[in-house]
């Protein structure tokens, strides 16, 4: 349900960047998120399309969503990185530390990030 | 002639929200104010708990509560009867509060007139987890009537919380089990405060207030 808010946050920031670079058009916006951002990609795409219909700069813009792997921080040994396997059946997000095996781990949620924008600019 | 140019950005999409949230947190800290964000599902008892907290604290502190709901001012009106100031934000279709909405309300008041601020976030265990409102502590309220799997099913919001409140513990044993939820909360986040409360019978409220770091002398 928050895809619409996210899409509008993306468009607002990209619009700012496009204006700074005196761009004629925004061609592509690339964003990345890990699985725990809880984004439904289709909804994000739909929201993006709806929001840009009114904005001249974005008429040809398309949105690319890169999916990142999960990242954990171990509270036992401070390991930071990809978990060793999917969380246990009961506690879906209690991932196992790939260094010490503890399940006392925190998710390091990497929020939806604007990676890059492809702009059409005057030479 | 035009050309295509790739600009590397590498910034969070909620940048504006996160910056604003940090500003709110800094402002509250510099003024020595406390600010708590109360989240939880619909009907968990967020408003009832806030009424109980307000009853206990209003003789000693000046309190401001920001209520978020899709529609109506019912919750803000209920809490206002307990001697605190409230404002209701109607989010329309919005499923969460965000820093901008909070900032708008704080701009309308004099922050120095108050000691402690609370938000009652929109009732849901999903979206508010992703939106920082600038609070110093996030509190998630679930009630034992939501079923024994409610915490397991919504782990993310607990991962980001400092306090989990298991409410409606007066119904413990009447077909509901608070202990399962306490254990699940601890398993999801070992360093989180987990408390059992009953807003109805006024139990656990003092412990909750202590866990917020509020001292009544
Ligand atoms: N038995 C019992 N009922 C409660 C308790 N806390 C809240 N309720 C009831 O649960 C319903 C929803 O409470 P409310 O505070 O409006 O929940 P909110 O949607 O989270 O703000 C109301 O009918 C309350 O009277 C409690 O501790 N015990
Ligand atoms: Mg309420
Ligand atoms: Zn480890």
A87 vs B182, higher pLDDT = B182
Same domain, A48 and A92: no
Same domain, A59 and A116: yes
| First-to-last C-alpha distance (Å) of chain B | 73
Task: Report CB contact under 8 Å: B94, A90.
Answer: no
Same domain, A52 and A86: no
Nearest to A91 among B1, B15, B152 (CB): B152
Q: What is the ipTM of this complex?
A: 0.81
- Average pLDDT value over all residues in chain B: 93
Q: Which CATH superfamily is domain B34-211 in?
A: P-loop containing nucleotide triphosphate hydrolases (3.40.50.300)
Task: Report CB contact under 8 Å: B13, A109.
Answer: no
A70-74, A105-109, B102-106, B199-203 — which is least confidently predicted? A105-109
Lay out the sheet containing A105-107: strands in order across: A80-81, A72-74, A105-107
For residues B138-159, give the mean pLDDT: 92
Same domain, A41 and A101: no
Same domain, A22 and A80: no
Same domain, A115 and A55: yes
pLDDT of residue B212: 98
B52 vs B217, higher pLDDT = B52
pLDDT band at A104 (very low <50, low <70, confident <90, very high): confident
Work out how many domains chain A is built from and give that number.
2
pLDDT band at B216 (very low <50, low <70, confident <90, very high): confident
Which residues in chain A touch residue B152, judged by CB atoms under 8 angstroms apart? Answer: 90-92
Task: Report CB contact under 8 Å: B155, A93.
Answer: yes
Q: Which of A114, A117, A122 to probe by mutation at the B interface, max B CB count within 10 Å?
A: A114
Same domain, A23 and A39: yes
Q: Whose CA is nearest to atom 7 of ligand 1?
A: B45
Does any ligand 1 atom lie closer than 6 A to the CB of residue B68? no
- Answer yes or no: is pLDDT of B165 > 60: yes
Identify the sign of the CA torsion B193, B199, B203, B207.
Answer: positive
Q: Which atom of ligand 1 is nearest to the CA of B41?
A: 20
Task: Report CB contact under 8 Å: A120, B127.
Answer: no
- Is the CB of residue B61 less than 8 Å from the CB of residue B115? yes
Q: What is the C-alpha separation between B206 and B211, in angstroms, rounded? A: 9
- Is the CB of residue B192 less than 8 Å from the CB of residue B159? no
Same domain, A33 and A57: yes
Same domain, A78 and A57: no
> Which distant-in-sequence residues (6+ apart) come within 8 Å of A55 by Cβ?
A11, A15
Q: What is the C-alpha separation between A123 and A54, in angstroms, rounded? A: 26
Structural domain boundaries enclosing A63: 2-69+109-121
- Answer yes or no: is pLDDT of A38 > 90: no
Per DSSP, the residues of A30-66 read EEEE-GGG---HHHHHHHHHHHHTT-GGGTT-EEEEE
Same domain, A50 and A76: no
Count CA atoms within 13 Å of residue B82 on its CB side: 23
- Is the CB of residue A58 less than 8 Å from the CB of residue A26? yes
For residues B122-150, give the mean pLDDT: 91
Q: What is the C-alpha separation between A56 and B104, in angstroms, rounded? A: 29
pLDDT of residue A88: 63
pLDDT of residue A86: 60
The phi and psi torsions of A45 (rounded to 5 degrees) equal -60, -45
Structure tokens at B161: 């919380």
Pairing label, strands B137-143, B34-40? parallel
pLDDT band at A80 (very low <50, low <70, confident <90, very high): very high
Closest CA to A29 of B6, B18, B16: B6
Same domain, A45 and A82: no
The C-alpha of B122 sits at a distance from chain A's nearest C-alpha, in angstroms, of 12
Nearest to B13 among A6, A90, A123 (CB): A6
What DSSP character marks residue A87?
P
Which residues in chain B touch residue A15, judged by CB atoms under 8 angstroms apart? Answer: none
Per-residue pLDDT tens digits for B66-96: 999 888 889 999 999 999 999 999 887 778 8
């Amino acid at each position: 349900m928050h895809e619409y808010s996210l899409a509008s946050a993306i468009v607002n920031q990209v619009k700012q960047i496009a204006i700074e670079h005196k761009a004629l058009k925004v061609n592509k916006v690339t964003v990345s998120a890990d699985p725990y951002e809880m984004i439904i990609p289709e909804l994000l795409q739909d929201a993006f399309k709806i929001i840009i219909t009114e904005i001249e700069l974005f008429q040809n813009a398309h949105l690319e969503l890169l999916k990142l792997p999960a990242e954990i921080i171990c509270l036992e040994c401070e390991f930071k990185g990809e978990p060793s396997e999917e969380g246990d059946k009961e506690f879906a997000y209690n991932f196992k530390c790939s260094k010490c095996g503890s399940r006392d781990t925190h998710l390091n949620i990497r929020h939806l990030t604007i990676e890059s924008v492809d702009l059409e600019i005057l030479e | 002639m035009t050309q295509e140019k790739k600009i590397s950005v590498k910034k969070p999409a909620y940048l504006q929200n996160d910056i604003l949230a940090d500003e709110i947190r800094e402002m509250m800290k510099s003024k020595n104010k406390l600010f708590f964000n109360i989240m939880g599902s619909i009907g968990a008892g967020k408003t009832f708990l806030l009424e109980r907290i307000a009853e206990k604290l209003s003789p000693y502190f000046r309190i401001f509560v920001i209520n978020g709901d899709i529609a109506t001012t019912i919750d803000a009106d209920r809490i206002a009867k307990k001697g605190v100031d409230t404002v209701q934000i109607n989010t329309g279709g919005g499923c969460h509060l965000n820093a901008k909405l909070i900032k708008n309300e704080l701009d309308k008041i004099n922050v120095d007139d108050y000691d402690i601020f609370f938000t009652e976030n929109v009732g849901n265990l999903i979206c508010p987890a992703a939106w920082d409102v600038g609070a110093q502590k996030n509190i998630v309220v679930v009630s034992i009537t939501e079923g024994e799997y409610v915490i397991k099913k919504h782990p993310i919001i607990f991962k980001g919380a400092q306090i989990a409140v298991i409410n409606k513990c007066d119904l413990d044993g009447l077909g509901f089990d608070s202990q399962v939820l306490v254990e699940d909360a601890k398993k999801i986040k070992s360093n989180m405060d987990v408390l059992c409360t009953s807003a109805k019978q006024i139990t656990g409220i003092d412990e909750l207030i202590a866990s917020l770091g509020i001292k009544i002398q």
